[in-house]
Structure 1
Amino acid sequence: MKNSFVELNGRQRAFALVDENSGRELVGPEYDMISPHLEPQKIVPESDDGVILVKGTLNGKNVVVISIEGKFQGGGIGEVSGAKIVAALEEALDDNKNGKTIYPIIILDTGGVRLQEANYGLLSISEIQNSVIALKKYVPVIGLVPGRVGSFGGMSITSAVLSYLITTKKARVALNGPEVIEQEAGVREFDSSDKDLIWNTLGTRQRVKTGIADELVEDDVETIKNAISEAIDQKKDAHRTDKADFYLTLLDKIDFSKPLTTEEYRKIFNETKAEKHEIPSAVSSNTPGDKSRGRLWFEKLTGIKNAKSEYPTVLAAEVDGKEYIAIVPDKNNRFPRVRNGEVGLQEGFVISKIVNKIVEEDKDKEVKRPIILIVDVPSQAYGYKEELIGIHIGLASSAAAYAKARQAGHPVIDFIPGDAVSGGFLAHGLQSNRMIALADKSITIQAMSKASAARITQRTIAELEEATKHVPAMAYDIFNYEKLGALYKLVHDVSSWDANDDAVKEVHELIDEAIASTKDQPTDLRFRYETPIAIESGRKATIKMREMVDDQWEK
């Protein structure tokens, strides 16, 4: 009789993967490291915040198992749970750098960001992704999606940056859940009550056939352990975020104005052969593009009037030794779900091409080109076809490219004159060394729209807004975001829509200052923990968790 892995809880799963009597839990429930952000919302916390860390061996090889408990807050990632994961991955990275091989295994049973800690969740997930990308230079980072919750939201983007993804037939993988797509785009786009449609589209039987997951195994502890051990031994790596040309070729073949079944998509996927795509820089034109804060500031900072490009939602150009990149609206775009400036499939893959080319061109240069992200992204694209194809891979490709550029020594600087929301921000913004934002009340910075967040957390919008008064990370404005400590500068004398000459001059100077501040500094994301606001209040729980994991790592 088989021993079900899916039926185990998060802690049992972690210990089930390591050799008998080899497992040791780090920062377990006895340390009572609860989230400080839940009780003010009258939510009962967990003493391990829903993440279990176990060091041990698997078939004699050193491993650290990171298990997310899907039964607590839907496996959502908040400040403490995120810091726990990041700290373990960074310890593993240090060990591998020092010749002490240890293999990370991540059990994904998660809805993504914990909406009750929204912006902390986004920050943490970007930091997890950064650590995974750094680790993959040394060892494969293996993911397991056993089932129950699955892997959704920002953690689906994380699943795409992992080396190899193992699943059972009881799991689903997607960026946007059906309920969120239905809320944002309507029931005709994705009917969340149609369970057959959901499983046929997002279930792992389909996902393995279309490159979103790598291996489908039986729900059996020994079978899963053997699959993970084999993936480690063979150093399996799907290189999922290195396939931009394949996906851009595939997208060229699909008419987004027509229906697309799972069978039709599998056929297109199997028949597609990657063709090289060149991404030319943006140029001036005689026709103004669709208005947005991102477009306005791209044109002002680069001096390119009425900027246009072959891929009209992505503007990129090198000016004065800096590469500027913006995502902009295009009301006639052939992908309907990105017409308002959302980050979709094509945007993620195009940006990854641009950034990876810069990294390759500068690999032997002592001074690396700065990359300036102009951030005005209202969200990721919400659509059935986007989920069928795997929008999270597109967003992961962009995020991974930015992370690799920063880790290679490129200053990656955000300038935020507009919205910075959800997966759009993870893909285009949250892998930066420094974040500069305008102190403008029109800017929204969050993990999900209020309507969708209320639906998912089963609150009214009024209740949601009341909760933001107690937890700054849940708020939607840039002023509360500043309280988290992640910003390099909040600019108080420039407004989002007023890109006058003096304002442009000031922003250029701030960007240059931010670039200079990265010189001879670490190329990871630790700056976010070291600002005065972060130390005093914004990331106190993060810092404490990092210290605890470090203290217990070698004991």
Structure 2
Amino acid sequence: MTLADILTSLFPGGHDVRNDDGVLSGSGALRSGGRALVVGIADRTAVGIDEAIRLSRYVLDSIASGSGPILVIVDSDSQRMSKRDELLGLNEFLAHLAKCLIYADIHGRPAIGILYGHSAAGGFLATALATRVLVGLPGADPVVMDLPSMSKVTKLSIDILEEKAKSTPVFAPGLQNLAQTGAVHLTWDEATPLADQLEALLDDLPDARDRRDALGKERGGRLKAADIAERVHGLALQTR
């Protein structure tokens, strides 16, 4: 689906979403009433400090101006790996954007990521993965870290990583693998109006507690994270 198709299907009652050099902003009329704020990245744009601070402003401004959900629609590259962005503290800007989305989520504007294209690395973490739940559309191509980059970090050969990716979703790119680890909450059906699927999700939205580790355990893609987190939480309570 193209971005125009997605917005039309999400908001049959109309929307005013604009694409300004790859940065999405605006709102759309919900079928159940009220409006959803729409922000995001389009056209496989890399997320640099300029994009991050603009999106952060839209999100923070929305907390005082409404109470509907925030839809974070994403087709991005990774973070912008330029000297300018790195010297100005890109990591801090990306962290600020992620924290703004989380802050808005716990202050009355639940954040829902909608991944329809590519996304990778810091650009993925600070947008789609910083939401309460992430929805994937067929054809989406998420990569937390590509295998050549992972090879440099782990010092394992690409051949070994490719073999591990066949049986271990945490090593593998792609929508299905991210769903198996619990990072992708749902995959929507593009043959069904997205407005209907959005309303169904809003009616049954999980609470703000991050349960992706438990979902990954349930789906067999991340077997240890939930148990380790529970043990750490228990130990922390004992030391109070």
TM-score, normalising length from structure 2?
A: 0.83
Deviation per residue, 1:213-253 (Å, 9 max, x gap): xxxxxxxxxxxxxxxxxxxxxxxxxxxxxxxxxxxxxxxxx
Equivalence for 2:209: 524
Equivalence for 2:6: 297
Paired with 1:460 and 1:550, the residues of 2 have a C-alpha distance of 35
| Contact kept in structure 1, 2:180 and 2:219, CA below 8 Å | no
Residue identity opposite 2:210 in structure 1: L
Q: 3-state SS of the aligned residue for 1:377?
A: strand
Equivalence for 2:116: 417
Equivalence for 1:313: 22
Paired with 1:294 and 1:419, the residues of 2 have a C-alpha distance of 13
Cα distance, 1:299 vs structure 2: 6.2
Residue identity opposite 1:343 in structure 2: V
* 1:353 equivalenced with 2:57 (yes/no): yes
Equivalence for 2:172: 475
Equivalence for 1:168: none
Cα distance, 1:452 vs structure 2: 2.7
Identity across the alignment (%): 24
| Contact kept in structure 1, 2:36 and 2:71, CA below 8 Å | yes
Which of these two proteins has the greater Rg computed from alpha carbons?
1
Cα distance, 1:427 vs structure 2: 1.2
Cα distance, 1:479 vs structure 2: 1.2
Q: 2:217 aligns with which of 525, 531, 534?
A: 534
Structural RMSD (CA):
2.6
Equivalence for 1:545: 228
Aligned length: 231
Q: 1:324 aligns with which of 16, 38, 60?
A: 38
| Contact kept in structure 2, 1:413 and 1:511, CA below 8 Å | no
Cα 1:511–1:486, aligned 2, differ >3 Å: closer, same or farther? same
Give the number of the structure whose residues are more often strand, by fraction.
2
Where in structure 2 are the equivalents of 1:32-181 lying within 5 Å? none
Cα distance, 1:293 vs structure 2: 4.8
Paired with 1:540 and 1:457, the residues of 2 have a C-alpha distance of 20
Paired with 2:153 and 2:225, the residues of 1 have a C-alpha distance of 25
Deviation per residue, 1:240-278 (Å, 9 max, x gap): xxxxxxxxxxxxxxxxxxxxxxxxxxxxxxxxxxxxxxx
Paired with 2:76 and 2:2, the residues of 1 have a C-alpha distance of 10
Cα distance, 1:488 vs structure 2: 2.5
TM-score, normalising length from structure 1?
A: 0.38
Residue identity opposite 2:137 in structure 1: L
Cα 1:453–1:508, aligned 2, differ >3 Å: closer, same or farther? same
Deviation per residue, 1:42-61 (Å, 9 max, x gap): xxxxxxxxxxxxxxxxxxxx
| Contact kept in structure 1, 2:16 and 2:27, CA below 8 Å | no
| Contact kept in structure 2, 1:375 and 1:420, CA below 8 Å | yes
Cα 1:480–1:308, aligned 2, differ >3 Å: closer, same or farther? closer
Q: Which runs of 5 or more structure 2 residues have no equivalent in the other structure?
A: 30-34
Equivalence for 1:378: 77
Q: Which runs of 5 or more structure 1 residues have no equivalent in the other structure?
A: 1-291, 330-339, 363-367, 495-501
Deviation per residue, 1:75-123 (Å, 9 max, x gap): xxxxxxxxxxxxxxxxxxxxxxxxxxxxxxxxxxxxxxxxxxxxxxxxx
Residue identity opposite 1:373 in structure 2: V
Cα distance, 1:539 vs structure 2: 4.1
Cα 1:326–1:301, aligned 2, differ >3 Å: closer, same or farther? farther
